[in-house]
Amino acid sequence: MHILVVDDEKDIADLLEIYLKDDYIVHKFYDSSLVMNFLNNNEVDLAILDIMMPGIDGFSLCELIRKKYNFPILFVTAKESSMDKVKGLDLGADDYITKPFNPLELLARVKANLRRYKSIDNDIVIVRGMQIDAKKHELLLEGKKIILTPREFEILLYLAKHKGEVIKTEDLFKEIWQDDYYECDNNTIMVHIRHIREKMHDTKNSKYIKTIWGVGYTIEK
């Protein structure tokens, strides 16, 4: 599989390549302005982006990528504030890890994101006008294709598979991110749910994903 690494700090980009090259084909860029042209002509399965880069920063690059591609995006950055994390997720990133990072944790997150994205689950879930094809990572809403990021798709699929149940926010985070839950992670879930609703044009009455305040979310049967 092909991993895109974009970081203007050569030492960090080179280090990422060393960690990844045994398992993946790594495409490394120090200059973010060259990335979109590369993507238009090459296959990529996951991108690792720095945020603070000259010219096109990581946030802007993520936004450009999301206009055309839905492969997982992982931010690796020195920025630690929750607002930066929310902004990255808001633009379509799937995961976030701060420098200095543990290489084993980085590899685990890469593998987890790829595993979800490349899932070969054959189930097709049909509920409330939605047809969710897990194998194709495809959502059809009233017959119209809706493009979701890998994380958004996994959240919707999980809720749909448990339709009629109220899924606690903590349990949803642990299931999708495979990580410990902290109170601040509630923002992460909220951002992704909001994006799903926006793409489904369901922001006013929440016909599809219902919020159970103080508890979590549900898709009614």
Domains of the chain with bracketed CATH = 2-117 (3.40.50.2300), 124-218 (1.10.10.10)
Compute how many other C-beta atoms are within 10 angstroms of the C-beta atom of residue 192: 24
Nearest one of 179, 157, 189 to 108, comparing CA atoms: 179
Whether 72 and 117 have beta carbons less than 8 Å apart is answered as yes
**Helix, coil or strand: residue 7:** coil
- Type of residue at 198: E
- For the full predicted model, state whether its pTM sits above 0.75: no
CA distance linking residue 200 with residue 158, whole number of Å: 17
List per-block mean pLDDT (blocks of 10 residues) for the chain, which spans 221 residues: 93 92 94 93 92 91 89 83 78 86 88 76 79 89 90 94 92 87 77 94 89 93 78
Asked whether 3 and 45 are in contact (CB, 8 A), the reply is yes
- Which pair of tokens denotes residue 174? 């642990």
For residue 185, what pLDDT is reported? Answer: 67
